[in-house]
């Protein structure tokens, strides 16, 4: 029963994830297509300004329309055509001051700086505003709605369906469902994920929601603590993710019982509880969501932890372009050359989007593992579950345990 | 319950350990952005 809900919720979350991704990809694609489509649509005549910016360029920018900047980006001087050093303007080396400024604006200038770091020679970052606006706008808005919507859905579900009770009579016997080390791994993952979720939300949403309430100084303190916690607790999350994967992957490969379980709708629509092993199809979906999404969050998180050292997206986009998929879906070609900051911006957006999806899934998991179902919490609390609960939700697993012990459940203890 | 508390304690230990270790290895933000040359302090 609880597991069909896991499954249904998983499907809803996956659909939301696809929507979120689509909305994320669109602006990037628009920019990638920008140069070609704009040039085709509007051949601006710049002869009157000698090739420089025209009123039409300015008006298009003011109206928020796409502007083809190539006439400026490519106009950065030509050292090979420089006048002789003793001629007029020869000391400029073929690039006038405006040429140099355009070079900085479009990241084509040969910049040397005393500040260390791989990206310290990028003085003007062309794609920063798109990222900032997306981060403060759609990411924050839709991410917030996703979490609030999930909470509202769960509250409604609880009101309509109520708590899932144990159907049969309780036996008073308990069997061990999760060993100490399994529960340790689970709580290492769960505790770190909650801390990372809260501190991540503080970092993303604090400027909008906390500063107006508490002021800049108090928020600065909280933001500093949140950053420290987020950066350092991440290692516990990654370690736990590996632990959980190693401990449970063997129980989470799909098999025939999953098809039967899914065909019966997990028992949600009557017809009794479908048989399930240690993990049923719904739980397997949760497991793989955590592994895949958690893994993706970890990789993008590492990229952010060591800024500019682990760029991911230019290469990923090149591989995606190679499949022809983005073009087929109407997104055009994804940008294959990214400045160091752009790499970080994409990593941040991806990190946040995938985290929102996983947070929504985990909210549902927390619900069904606590107030949503009688007897479910014991599995991770004490590790010992009521035998009747186990028979209803994991009948094949109970048989396995009994066969292994060749008697009544070995961990049987009197009811408390 | 014991496993849960142990898990939470481990989170704290790992976090402090990670901070200390990365700092020792020279991965602090300050050190990553600092230049070993070109700035002469003193003498």
| pLDDT score of A73 | 87
Q: Are the Cβ atoms of A233 and B14 closer than 8 angstroms?
A: yes
Give chain B positions within 8 Å (CB) of A383.
3
CA distances from A389 to A23, A231, A288, A359 (A): 42, 40, 24, 27
Q: Are the Cβ atoms of B11 and A228 closer than 8 angstroms?
A: no
ipTM score: 0.86
Q: Are A94 and A79 in contact (CB under 8 A)?
A: yes
Number of domains present in the structure of chain A: 1
Region A329-358: what's the mean pLDDT? 93
Residue A225 lies in a domain: yes
A340-369 and A313-323 are packed helices; what angle lies between their axes, rounded to 10 degrees?
Answer: 80
Residue A142 lies in a domain: yes
As a dihedral over the C-alpha atoms of residue A387, residue A392, residue A397, residue A403, rounded to 10 degrees, the angle is 60
Q: Are A158 and A371 in contact (CB under 8 A)?
A: yes
C-alpha to C-alpha distance for A100 and A110, rounded to whole angstroms: 9
Give chain B positions within 8 Å (CB) of A186.
3, 7
- Please report which confidence band the pLDDT of residue A210 belongs to, taking 50, 70 and 90 as the band edges: very high
**Which of A159-168, A365-374, A404-413 is least confident?**
A404-413
Contacts of A148 (CB under 8 A, 6+ apart): none
Q: Where are the beta strands (DSSP E) in A237-366?
A: none
Q: Are A392 and A167 in contact (CB under 8 A)?
A: yes
CA atoms within 13 A on the CB side of A155: 6
Q: Which of A116, A184, A232 sits opposite B6 (nearest CB)?
A: A184
Region A290-305: what's the mean pLDDT? 97
| pLDDT score of A125 | 82
| pLDDT score of A155 | 96
Residue A321 reports pLDDT greater than 90: yes
Query: Nearest C-alpha of chain B: how many angstroms from A112?
Result: 13
Q: Are the Cβ atoms of A235 and B16 closer than 8 angstroms?
A: no
Residue A118 lies in a domain: no
Give chain A positions within 8 Å (CB) of B4.
183, 187, 191, 380-381
Which range marks the domain in which residue A140 is found? 2-32+127-405
Residue A416 reports pLDDT greater than 70: no
Region A73-96: what's the mean pLDDT? 87
**Which of A8-12, A382-386, B16-20 is least confident?**
A8-12
Give chain A positions within 8 Å (CB) of B34.
116
Residue A13 reports pLDDT greater than 50: no
pLDDT single digits (tens) B33-43: 766 666 666 65
Residue A132 reports pLDDT greater than 60: yes
C-alpha to C-alpha distance for A411 and A101, rounded to whole angstroms: 75
Would an 8 Å CB–CB cutoff place B9 in contact with chain A?
no
- pTM for the complete prediction? 0.80
**Which of A112-121, A250-259, A341-350, A355-364 is least confident?**
A112-121
Residue A15 reports pLDDT greater than 70: no
C-alpha to C-alpha distance for A29 and A32, rounded to whole angstroms: 5
Nearest chain B residue to A309 by CA: give it.
Answer: B32
| pLDDT score of A11 | 41
Give chain A positions within 8 Å (CB) of B35.
114-116
CATH number at residue A255: 1.20.950.20
C-alpha to C-alpha distance for A228 and A222, rounded to whole angstroms: 10
Region A56-76: what's the mean pLDDT? 87
Question: How many contacts, defined by CB atoms under 8 Å, are there between A and B?
Answer: 69
C-alpha to C-alpha distance for A143 and A268, rounded to whole angstroms: 29
Q: Which of A17-31, A161-175, A375-389, B4-18 has the highest mean pLDDT?
A: B4-18
Q: Tell me if residue A174 falls in helix, strand or coil.
A: strand
Residue A47 lies in a domain: no
Region A378-390: what's the mean pLDDT? 92
Residue A320 lies in a domain: yes
**Which of A29-33, A84-88, A313-317 is least confident?**
A29-33
Q: Are the Cβ atoms of A117 and B11 closer than 8 angstroms?
A: no
Residue A163 lies in a domain: yes
Residue A85 reports pLDDT greater than 80: yes
Residue A261 lies in a domain: yes
pLDDT single digits (tens) A138-148: 999 999 999 99
String of DSSP letters for A192-257? HHHHHHHHHHHHHHHHHHTHHHHHHHHHHHHHHHHHHHHHHHHHHHHHHHHHHHHHHGGG-S--HH
- Spell A73-102 as b/e; 16+ CB within 10 A means b: bebbbeeeebeeeeeeeeeeeebeeebbbb
CA distances from A260 to A22, A200, A278, A394 (A): 33, 39, 15, 13
Would an 8 Å CB–CB cutoff place B18 in contact with chain A?
yes
Q: Are A347 and A304 in contact (CB under 8 A)?
A: yes
pLDDT single digits (tens) A23-43: 444 444 444 444 444 444 457
Q: Are the Cβ atoms of A187 and B19 closer than 8 angstroms?
A: no
| pLDDT score of A4 | 42
**Which of A10-19, A170-179, A364-373 is least confident?**
A10-19
Q: Are the Cβ atoms of A116 and B27 closer than 8 angstroms?
A: no
C-alpha to C-alpha distance for A142 and A135, rounded to whole angstroms: 11
B39 CB burial (10 A radius; 0-12, 13-18, 19+): exposed
Q: Are A411 and A390 in contact (CB under 8 A)?
A: no
Q: Are the Cβ atoms of B1 and A232 closer than 8 angstroms?
A: no
Residue A71 lies in a domain: no
Contacts of A130 (CB under 8 A, 6+ apart): A27, A31
Residue A123 reports pLDDT greater than 80: yes
Q: Which of A92-101, A219-228, A373-382 has the highest mean pLDDT?
A: A219-228
Q: Are the Cβ atoms of B18 and A380 closer than 8 angstroms?
A: no
Q: Tell me if residue A275 falls in helix, strand or coil.
A: coil
Mean pLDDT (chain A) is 85
Q: Tell me if residue A412 falls in helix, strand or coil.
A: coil
| pLDDT score of A29 | 41
Would an 8 Å CB–CB cutoff place B24 in contact with chain A?
no
Q: Are the Cβ atoms of A115 and B35 closer than 8 angstroms?
A: yes
Q: Are A388 and A402 in contact (CB under 8 A)?
A: no
C-alpha to C-alpha distance for A198 and A355, rounded to whole angstroms: 11
| pLDDT score of A225 | 97
**Which of A11-15, A70-74, A211-215 is least confident?**
A11-15
Residues of chain A with a CB closer than 8 angstroms to some CB in chain B: 114-117, 120, 180-181, 183-188, 190-192, 195, 228-229, 231-236, 239-240, 306-307, 380-383
Q: Are the Cβ atoms of B14 and A383 closer than 8 angstroms?
A: no
Contacts of A365 (CB under 8 A, 6+ apart): A6, A286
Residue A16 reports pLDDT greater than 50: no
Q: Are the Cβ atoms of B7 and A186 closer than 8 angstroms?
A: yes
Q: Are the Cβ atoms of B35 and A116 closer than 8 angstroms?
A: yes
Q: Are A28 and A329 in contact (CB under 8 A)?
A: no
Contacts 24+ apart (CB under 8 A), A270-273: A273/A1, A273/A167, A273/A392, A273/A393, A273/A395
Which of the 8 DSSP states describes residue A54?
A: -
Which of the 8 DSSP states describes residue A169?
A: -
| pLDDT score of A411 | 54
B25 CB burial (10 A radius; 0-12, 13-18, 19+): exposed
């Amino acid at each position: 029963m609880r597991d069909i809900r896991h499954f249904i919720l998983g499907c809803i979350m996956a659909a939301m994830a696809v929507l979120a991704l689509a909305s994320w990809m669109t602006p990037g694609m628009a920019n990638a297509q920008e140069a070609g489509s704009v040039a085709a649509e509007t051949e601006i005549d710049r002869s009157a300004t000698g090739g420089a910016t025209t009123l039409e360029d300015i008006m298009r920018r003011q109206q928020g329309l796409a502007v083809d900047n190539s006439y400026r980006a490519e106009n950065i001087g030509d050292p090979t055509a420089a006048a002789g050093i003793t001629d007029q303007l020869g000391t400029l080396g073929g690039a006038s001051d405006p040429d140099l400024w355009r070079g900085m604006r479009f990241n084509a200038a040969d910049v040397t700086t005393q500040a260390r770091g791989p990206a310290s020679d990028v003085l003007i970052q062309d794609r920063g505003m798109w990222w900032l606006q997306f981060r403060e706008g759609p990411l924050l808005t839709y991410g917030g709605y996703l979490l609030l919507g999930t909470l509202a859905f769960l509250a409604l579900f609880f009101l309509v369906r109520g708590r899932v009770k144990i159907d049969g009579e309780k036996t008073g016997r308990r069997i061990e469902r999760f060993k100490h080390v399994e529960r340790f791994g689970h709580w290492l993952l769960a505790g770190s994920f909650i801390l990372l979720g809260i501190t991540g939300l503080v970092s993303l949403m604090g400027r909008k929601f906390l500063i107006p309430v508490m002021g800049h100084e108090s928020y600065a303190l909280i933001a500093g603590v949140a950053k420290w916690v987020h950066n350092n607790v991440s290692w516990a999350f990654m370690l736990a993710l590996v632990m959980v994967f190693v401990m449970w992957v063997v129980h989470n490969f799909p098999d025939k019982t999953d098809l039967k379980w899914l065909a019966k709708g997990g028992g949600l629509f009557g017809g009794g509880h479908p048989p399930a092993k240690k993990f049923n199809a719904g739980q397997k979906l949760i497991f793989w969501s955590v592994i895949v999404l958690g893994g993706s969050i970890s990789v993008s998180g590492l990229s952010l932890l060591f800024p500019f050292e682990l760029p991911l997206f230019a290469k990923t986009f090149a591989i995606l372009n190679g499949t022809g998929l983005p073009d087929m879906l109407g997104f055009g070609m994804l940008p294959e050359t990214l400045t160091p900051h752009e790499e970080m911006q994409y990593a941040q957006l991806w990190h946040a989007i995938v985290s929102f999806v996983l947070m929504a899934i985990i909210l549902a998991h927390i619900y069904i593992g606590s107030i949503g179902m009688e007897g479910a919490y014991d599995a991770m609390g004490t590790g010992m579950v009521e035998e009747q609960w186990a028979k209803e939700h994991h009948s094949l697993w109970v048989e396995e345990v009994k066969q292994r012990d060749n008697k009544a459940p070995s961990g049987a203890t009197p009811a408390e | 319950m014991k496993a849960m508390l142990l898990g939470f304690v481990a989170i704290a230990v790992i976090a402090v350990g990670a901070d200390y270790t990365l700092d020792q290895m020279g991965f602090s933000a300050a050190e990553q952005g600092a230049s070993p040359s070109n700035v002469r302090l003193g003498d």
